[in-house]
Chains A and B, each alone.
Chain A
Amino acid sequence: MNIELSKLIEALRRTLEDNVQPELRTDHARGQLAAVQDILGKLGRMAVWSSDASAQQARVLAEGCADFVARLAQAGVKLPLPASRQDGSPEDALLAAEAQAMQLTDWLFDDGATLPQSVHAELDAILRQALRQQLIIQRKLIPLTDFGAMTSVAKP
């Protein structure tokens, strides 16, 4: 999820205020909603995404990029890879690793197009594997969404 948590929570509060509050019919329901909005407002200042997950994602991407460059070196091509950041926050490290993966993607599809087919395929597989591992870490954090409940009309 590449959105600041505080912005996500603000969007939730805005929806409750604009789309739900005007439709409420009882004082009790309005009171409940006000409490939910209050809690969301407080959480918005306190909660952050999991730094552990960011650090794990940064690591698998950085390792994949390093494997990519090492395999390329075996094929006789020296590709200077911008150093990944180890000093900043896990979020900074993740952004840097993502940028690095996209740079290598560009290199593979542009300059790398002249490589022997087998080497090109191997490099692409290394990259895809790193991207896959990043996504698996993200998905582990997220329960399934019930879009059916969001689009169905209420039963009479």
Chain B
Amino acid sequence: MTDLSIPPLALDLAPERLGPRLEAFLQTQWHARVRLSDWCRFPAGFSWVTLGCTVALQQAGVERTLDLILRIGDPNGLLAPYRAKPEFLVLAALQKVPGLPVPSVHAYSDDADIIGAPFLITGRVAGDTPMPWKGNAEQRDEAHNESLSREFTDAMAALHRVNWRATPLGELWAESRPETVARDQVRHWASHVGILGAAHPQVPPQMYHAMRWLDREAPAADQVTIVHGDFRVGNFLQQDGHITAILDWELVHAGDPLEDIAWAGLRVFAAGTQRIGGLIDREAFNRRYAEVAGVRLRPDVIRYYEVLGLFKSAAMLVGATQRVASGRARDVRMASMGFQLASTLLELNRLITEASE
């Protein structure tokens, strides 16, 4: 029998092929003549492919240009399969939240027939990215580090205060419950590496032990808020000591706000210091965050989410290795990630041991 099905469109990042596909999509969306140019690719990030371009828009006889960021969920990417809709809805809901700068958001599609992968288009924001590497904070003016610390804290608090149920996210995350949000995350990441209910799990036994521990110890949340999922130093832009945008919303979900706090404070992001992200004094963060967010800081729950954070990191590393092993990895940095697994699992072992004593 002849196969009449249409093969899925292959993702092709070459501007001469990607550009016209995207222009056609945007012309329909914006009812305007659209021309894309000045393409560049950013090396930051290990998951979505991030490209920059300029769009010239002609609408009602008026021409204007915008600098855009195109984020593409590569089907072979680190956390594939991707969906752009949650990130789009979140960014749309957060456009005017005081103290929480986010990029403007223009369009998205989860239809693989447009460019061969889900994608999201946002505005380009000026600034550079402070990183959680050793010595990074020391290269900046101390006053800048102080204002960045304050704005980082306020941005997280502002995010956790958003009444998301009154936005379209209320429908997207209608099933989220305080009693189950922690376990939902454990299952999500266990599924990512194929060990949820597997008869013969193909992961290091420490990973499996951690999954069982996290499932048993899962706490109920005091409240369910928007959780960024990767809120840390390294995922915001700054200019002259002021945060210009919180970035990388791909792991956003409804959950316990203490999950974001635990993740931001992981030792792996501390650049060998006691500070959050190598930048922010922990005590000052805790005081200010609790005051602004009105969220109760529960040390035992934060410790639980630190373990979950490392489990999530380990799941990403195992997932990266699995993609390399199956020949699906497009980015060789995934192979390099696999070598981090032992040290991540050792830290996981240490945290579980501390929590068990």
Contacts and interface: CB of A to CB of B under 8 A. Distances in A.
Interface of A: 1-4, 7-8, 10-12, 14-15, 18-19, 61, 98-99, 101-102, 105-106, 108-109, 121, 124-125, 127-128, 131-132, 134-136, 138-139, 142, 145, 147-148, 150-153
**B contact face: mostly helix, strand, loop, or mixed:** helix
Interface stretch (B106-114, B145-153, B237-245, B329-337): B329-337
Interface string B321-357: 1001101011111111111111101100100110010
Given A1-B339, A105-B212, A109-B216, A61 B133 contact: no
Nearest to A22: B14
Contact of A138 (B133, B334, B342): B342
B319 to A, nearest CB: 12
B349 A153 contact: no
B208 A102 contact: yes
Nearest to B339: A142
Q: Lowest 3 A-B CB distances belong to which pairs?
A: A15-B332, A138-B342, A101-B205
B209 A128 contact: yes
A3 B324 contact: yes
Contact of A152 (B43, B343, B352): B43
Given A14-B327, A125-B353, A135-B204, 6 more contacts: A1-B339, A2-B202, A3-B335, A10-B327, A121-B356, A142-B343
A141 to B, nearest CB: 8
Contacts of A3: 321, 324-325, 335, 338
A138 to B, nearest CB: 4
B200 interface: yes
Given A11-B335, A135-B349, A2 B327 contact: no
B131 interface: yes
Contact of B205 (A105, A125, A150, A151): A105
B18 to A, nearest CB: 15
A145 B344 CA distance: 12
A6 B308 CA distance: 32
B12 to A, nearest CB: 12
Interface residues of B, number: 46
Contacts of B209: 101-102, 105, 127-128, 131
A121 B355 CA distance: 12
24 contacts: A1-B339, A1-B341, A3-B321, A3-B324, A3-B325, A3-B338, A11-B324, A18-B330, A19-B331, A102-B201, A102-B209, A108-B212, A124-B356, A125-B353, A128-B209, A131-B204, A131-B209, A132-B206, A134-B205, A135-B342, A135-B346, A142-B343, A147-B333, A147-B336
Contact of B349 (A14, A132, A145, A148): A132
B8 interface: no
Interface in B3-50: 42-46
B346 A12 contact: no
**Most A CB atoms within 10 A — which of B206, B318, B327, B349?**
B206
A10 to B, nearest CB: 7
A11 B205 contact: no
Contact of A151 (B43, B201, B356): B43
Contacts of A151: 43-46, 131
Contact of A105 (B133, B208, B337): B208
Interface string B121-149: 00000000001010000000000000000
Contact of A11 (B45, B332, B342, B343): B332
Nearest to B350: A132
Nearest to B212: A109
Nearest to A124: B356
**Most B CB atoms within 10 A — which of A102, A108, A138?**
A102
Given A11-B329, A11-B332, A151-B44, A139 B212 contact: no
Contacts of B338: 1, 3, 8
Contact of A8 (B45, B46, B335): B335
Contacts of A98: 204-205
Interface in B42-101: 42-46
B186 to A, nearest CB: 13
Contacts of A125: 353, 356
A145 B336 contact: yes
B34 to A, nearest CB: 27
A99 B202 CA distance: 9
Contacts of B203: 2
Contact of B332 (A4, A12, A106): A12
Contact of A15 (B208, B331, B339, B356): B331
A151 B203 CA distance: 27
Given A12-B332, A124-B356, A102 B205 contact: yes
